[in-house]
Structure formats: C-alpha cells, structure tokens
Amino acid sequence: MNRIEKTFQLLNNNGSKAFVPYIMAGDGGLDSLVERLQLLEKFGASAIEVGVPFSDPVADGPTIQQAGIRALNNGTTLKGIVAKLAEARESINIPIILMTYLNPIYAYGIASFVHDIQNAGVDGCIIPDMPLEEEDIIAPKLEAAGIELIRLVTLTTPIERIKQIATKGNGFLYTVTVKGITGVRNEFDGDIHAYLQAVKEVSPIPVLAGFGISNQEQMLDLTKNCDGVVVGSRIVDLFAKNNLAEMEQLMSIFKQKSNIV
C-alpha cells in the first residue's frame, strides 16, 4: 500500500473528501517548486499533482498552457523536476503525482524515468495521451516500482470501458468533468452528477473529478457523487498572482465543509 492508498483509506475513515491541487513545475522558477509543495501541504492538500511543461499539451487549457510556456522559458527540464521532487520528499509527507505526456518520457528513457521518479519518492503518474491499449510500454515498470498509473475516463467513455479502466491499479480514477481541455468553467453539463454516480458505482477505486473546477460551490457540489476533486487552473492562476491568502481560504473552506457533503 503506497501513500495514495493510505491517504484515501484515511480520508474514507474520516468521512472526508480529497483536495488535489495541480501546479506546473518550473512556473515561477524551478527553485520555487519545493516551497510551493510545502505550502500546499500546509494548506491541507490531500495529494499534489505536479505538471511537467510540454510544448504540445493537448489536454491543457490556456492557463496551464501559459504556465508551461513560462516554465519552459525558465529552462525547466524533466530531469530538473525529478531532482527537485527528490529534495521535496525530505519534507513532504503527502502523495506526489507526476503528470506528463509520453514524449518527455520517451526522451528521458522509460526505464530511467521510472527508476528516477521512484528514487525521488513519486507515488503516481498521469499520462493523458497514453491509451489503455498502449500502456504496457510503461505500466508494468511503474507497478514493479510501486508507482500508481492514474488513468482517466471522460464524459464520452462508454460504461463498459470505464469498468475496464477502473479495474486497473489501486490509486484513483481521474474522472474528467468536461468535454474538452482544462480551464475554469462557470457551469457543467446537466448530467454531470449522473455521470459521476455511474462511474462511482462501477469503480473499485476512489473517483476524483477534475477539469474546469474553480470554486468552492463547484467542488462541494461535485463531491456529492465522488471522492474528491483535482483543481488545476485556479491554483496555477493564484500562484501566478501570488494570491496565497485566497488559495489558503479556498482549500480551508473545502476541507471544513467536504466532510459533511
């Protein structure tokens, strides 16, 4: 049982929901990464998703794309990120989940990538452009290293395929709540609750909602039918504006209220 499983077991025992913030590594300078991870843990994050900047981020909306460009312009590399995560692990206790596309992994070398993120204390890996049919190129290596491959399902994924994907691994199922890319949304499809409920009913692992979630009302509303939320663009934007007080308030209110949803 790695940190991800232990975290969700603890949340479940406490009747609480997960809050997983996303940050772009290297946005604001790679030297700020450890401090930002420490801050998010202090504010009450259940786990942290760390994005790797990439030149062609097909799943990312404007806010995260711009953060990736800033990070690349700062000279951020995957090797540099992994080194900083190893440094962060000395003081961070919650799960760290690395989100990257396949191309940087290929460039790094699959075996070397898995070896190095394992040594850095990474608990999970999200690879949004890798379909289930192709994951054998890396999934067995991650499993052997004790790193969870976090898989995604979407509003257009057939229920039988959701069942198939949900039986893989022991981390959580990343459930995309919009038809499109990341980014703040004012509202979601009217059938979003039925969708989350359907996924929850067939998934043996925790279900987290992500993409487009930006305020407490959305977070608390969506967690009526799932185990937590991933919040990306809003967190990235608040870091870019150095608005740490609002970030702390956002996370604090969610943590206080989510256990009564």
Residues acting as catalytic residues: 49, 60
> Which H or E element spans position 75?
none
User: To 10 degrees, what angle do helices 244-258 and 233-240 make?
Assistant: 150
Residue 94, sorted as left (phi over 0), alpha (psi -120 to 50) or beta, turns out to be beta
Task: Identify the three-state secondary structure at position 243.
Answer: coil
Residue with tokens 């609480």: 16
Provide the 8-state DSSP code for 225: S
Furthest CA-CA distance within the chain = 45
Give φ, ψ of 26 to 5 degrees: 95, -15
Q: Are 50 and 96 in contact (CB under 8 A)?
A: yes
Give φ, ψ of 174 to 5 degrees: -85, 110
Task: Identify the three-state secondary structure at position 218.
Answer: helix
Pairing of strands 48-51, 18-24: parallel
The token duo for 69 is 């460009």
CA separation, residue 29 to residues 48, 85, 138, 236 (Å): 18, 14, 29, 13
